[in-house]
Amino acid sequence: MAPKKPTTAPLAHRVPAEPTALILDYCRWLKEQTGYDVDPMSVYLGSALRGAFKKSPGNQKRLAAQAERIAAEKVAREQRRAERAAKVEKPKVEKPKPAPKGKATKAAPAPSRRRPLKGSTVATAEGVVIAQQRHIDLTDGAQ
């Protein structure tokens, strides 16, 4: 009878005997920032093996299933939107009433109130300045 070989996990070779000084500093920082006491080996493994997990066939399968689910939800959402649009009745367009017989009169346009521009002067017809903004005197005596 042959001796049994111990079975090991596929990534067991990536587990160090002791966490590095950087991982220990990172754990202290995590505790300071979050108040949660973390296991240094778990922090190391989580950091070191994250990329391997993301590339793993199981995770890729999960991502593909999630993408299919999202695409199916998008199609269902578009179908519901199209069904709601089909249910909405088109509004009835009223025909304009014919103008009464006789002369058509146009309403006079309302007078517009033009506001003075910035830096302008507003004066009366007699030349008296009643409002002045950023006025520069350009007469001969002013310098």
How far, in Å, CA of 97 to CA of 7, rounded?
Answer: 91
Round to whole Å and give the CA distance between 94 and 80.
Answer: 30
Give the pLDDT confidence score for residue 129 in this predicted structure. 62
Quick check: is 132 in a domain?
no
> Phi/psi zone of residue 116: left (φ > 0), alpha (ψ -120 to 50 degrees), beta?
beta
Domain of residue 71 covers 56-91
Q: Which of 34-43, 62-71, 101-110 has the lowest mean pLDDT?
A: 101-110
- Is 116 domain-assigned? no
Residue 35 included in any domain: yes
Residue 31 lies in a domain: yes
Q: What letter would DSSP give residue 90?
A: P
Q: In this predicted structure, what is the pLDDT of residue 17? A: 84
If asked whether residues 64 and 46 sit together in one domain, one would say no
Q: Please give the tally of structural domains in the chain.
A: 2
Report, as an integer, the average pLDDT of 51-65.
94
Co-location of 43 and 68 in the same domain: no
pLDDT digits (tens, 9 = 90+) for 69-128: 999 999 999 999 998 888 876 666 777 777 777 666 667 777 777 766 665 666 666 766
Torsion of CA 37, 43, 46, 48, to 10 degrees: 170
